[in-house]
Each structure stands twice: as C-alpha cells, then as structure tokens.
Amino acid sequence: MKQKLSILGSTGSIGTQALNIARALQIEITALTAHSNIDCLETQIREFKPAIAVVAEETLAHVLKAKVADTGTKILSGQDGILEAATEPSCEIVLNALVGIAGLLPTMAAIHAKKDIALANKETLVAGGDIVMQAAKDNGVSILPVDSEHSAIFQCLQGAPPNNALSGIILTASGGPFFGFSREQLYSVKAKDALKHPNWNMGKKITIDCATMMNKGLEIIEAVHLFGLPVEKVDVVVHRESIIHSLIEYNDNSVIAQLGLPDMHIPIQYALTYPNRLPSPAGKLSLTKIKNFSFFEPDDETFLCLKTCKEAIQKGGLAPAAANGANEEAVQLFLEDKISFLDIGTLVYEAMKAQRHRDEITIEDVLRADRSARENVKANCK
C-alpha cells in the first residue's frame, strides 16, 4: 500500500471522502489543493499537515497564507502550484479529483514525475486518453480507476485468465433524475431539478452530466482507454438501483459483476490500497433490503450526449476533447440559467461534429480543441 498521498481537489466530493479514508488508514498527506474554498482547505491543513497546499485562485492564496502562517505547510497558488502538488517529491500516489480539463496537465506532470495516479478526473482520459495512457506506459506508472464503474471492472478483472478471453464490459448507469422522460418533458427542466440525483451525492458538474447521460458517454470513452477495448465492446445498461457498479463478460458467456452500496469510499479506497482490501467507512450491502434489481436500455436519441460520445470515440483524434470541452462550457451556461437542458446535448453534438480530424495529436492540440469547442458553444448559444 502506498503511504504518501497528494490529493488534487481535496475540498470536493471525492477529495473529502479520500481524506476520510486517509484518516482511518493513517495515510500520510503530502499535498492538498483547492480552487477557492480556503476555509475547508485550512481545516484540512490543520488536521493533515501536508508539506504543500495550493489555492488555484491567486488572490485567495494570499489570504490562506496569512491564516496558516503558524503551520509548517507551504502555500502555493495557480496552475503552477497545482503542478508542484502533483509532483511533490516525497509523494508516492496522486489522487486527481479535480473537475474538468483543469486536471489534464497535472495528470501529465504526475506521470512524468513517475507518481502512480488514482484517477477520478475522467475528463483527463476523455480529452487526452491516448497521450495519457502512452505516457503512463512509458514511465511505468499505474493509472488506478476511481470512477465507480471503472473500479468495478478493474475489480472484476482481478484474476482474469491469461488468454485474453474478455469479450466485453457492461457499464451500469443509474439513468439519473430524468430517466424515462421524453424530449417534451425535458424541455422545461431546470438546474435545481437536474441537481437532484437519485442515488449519489456528488459535485455539481458531474451531477448535471448524470442528468444528461453525458457522464455515461464520458465513461464509455474512459473505459476504452483504461481497458484498451474497442468501443463496440463497451455496453451500457440502465440499472436504477446503482448497486451493481459494472460487469465484465467472458467468451464462455460467463458474466462477473461488482456490487456494493452507492458509496464512493469503496472505489476511492481500492485505488489507494490496491491490491489490498481493508475495512472501509462504506456501509454493508444487504441484498434482502434491496430486494429487486431493474435493467433498461439507455435512450440515446433523447439523451443526445450519450450518442455524441459514442460517435466521438469512433471518430477519434480530437473529437472526444471537443465533446468534453463543449460539455463543460454548456453545463456552466445551464447552471447559470443561460441555456435550456436540451441545448446542452445539441451544443455538445455540434461542437463535436465541427472538430476537424487529426491523426497525430499533442497535449497542446487537445487544449486547443478544448478551447475552440468552448468558443463554438458560446457562438452557437446566442
């Protein structure tokens, strides 16, 4: 088990749950980062005593610096600070729990510094998957999935036979708060409705992504990269109870699943303690209390984001980066009540379609595609 952990995005939903695990398992914290929540970060600094803490928002970093002057923690700011946190010399594993494309350069920096990565920040793999996975391979770095579906698949794959008998994987999706809605019903839904997820308590951006099914689209692309599978082998099934976190299928038609309560402590902890299993803060599953499981086909005509992501990964190149960047922009506009719920799908689809194909891509190309997709959304939503 890795004992020294840096958490990027420690004040968020994943970050705070990771600190519950660190507290219980006495994992040493080497660096913590936040965007602007300095009150939460101050409490974390006082409890976990990291060598470095970073506030992305420069002006707030000065405020925090004065507040924690009595501690031994060095306060840094901005993107450079986050890169230092990702490469802190004594750290052995980096949990990337940042939200969005902001996680891409820190992931690359951590890989080049030969730190293993527990990856929650799925946008990193969606936008720059080929580059990230190749860099991880070249540097002998493990990318351990934190996303619950990918952790489930990773767990199911432990003890897989050596003869490459895997015939496919099945990602489960809760269906979100609007499962079964028609486009007419979705026309007038607002952010407050979309922020009510039936099973999980998460950050705002991913909660909206669950409502649009973009989250499952992003997860298809994430799975393609993490497990090296063609998209045709990645299936999605709606499972309303969120107890089966995903499944794998072998060529003899045997299907293996991972189950548990919808509690992110389990996948976060597995990424941090792999290959070991230790007692966790998550509750115990009682199948007799759950009683029934239900399964449905996803509806990717109504939930256009899901279809967009499937097309994006088939198209390859920069198309996934464009879909991801457009989605980040569109979700922000929706949260500000500037566009409608259905606009998100349309804007993301148009931005993905507008992305020109390139075979050879660099990180700079990925960041450029992200920016131009955001511009495309802003131009098309007027």
Residues making contact with Mg ion (CB under 5 A) = 147-149
Which one of ligand NDP, Mg ion, none interacts with residue 169, CB within 5 to 8 A by kind? none
- Residue 48, classified by CB atoms within 10 Å of its CB into exposed (0-12), middle (13-18) or buried (19+), is buried
- Closer by beta carbon to ligand NDP, 13 or else 355: 13
Question: Closest distance between Mg ion and the C-beta of residue 367, in Å?
Answer: 24
User: Which listed range, 21-29, 35-43, 151-159, 238-246, lies at the site for ligand NDP (CB under 6 A)?
Assistant: 35-43
The footprint of ligand NDP on this chain (CB under 6 A) covers a number of residues equal to 26
- Residue 297, classified by CB atoms within 10 Å of its CB into exposed (0-12), middle (13-18) or buried (19+), is exposed
Site string for ligand NDP, 80-119 (x = CB under 6 A): -----------------xxx--x-----------------
Contact between 123 and ligand NDP by CB under 6 A: the answer reads: yes
Question: Closest distance between Mg ion and the C-beta of residue 108, in Å?
Answer: 22
Contact between 120 and ligand NDP by CB under 6 A: the answer reads: yes
Helices (H), the chain: 13-25, 38-48, 58-67, 78-86, 104-112, 122-138, 148-156, 183-186, 191-194, 204-212, 214-227, 265-273, 287-290, 304-315, 319-335, 341-354, 363-380
- Residues 341-380 touching ligand NDP, rule: CB under 6 A, are none
Question: Closest distance between ligand NDP and the C-beta of residue 96, in Å?
Answer: 8
**If you write DSSP's letter for every residue of 67-96 in order, what string do you get?**
HTTTSSPEEEEHHHHHHHHHT-TT-SEEEE
**Rounded CA separation 218/236 (Å):** 12
Contact between 203 and ligand NDP by CB under 6 A: the answer reads: yes
- Residues 237-296 touching ligand NDP, rule: CB under 6 A, are 264
Cβ atoms of residues 358 and 131 within 8 Å: no
Binding site for ligand NDP (CB under 6 A): 9-15, 34-37, 56, 97-99, 102, 120-123, 147, 200, 202-203, 206, 264
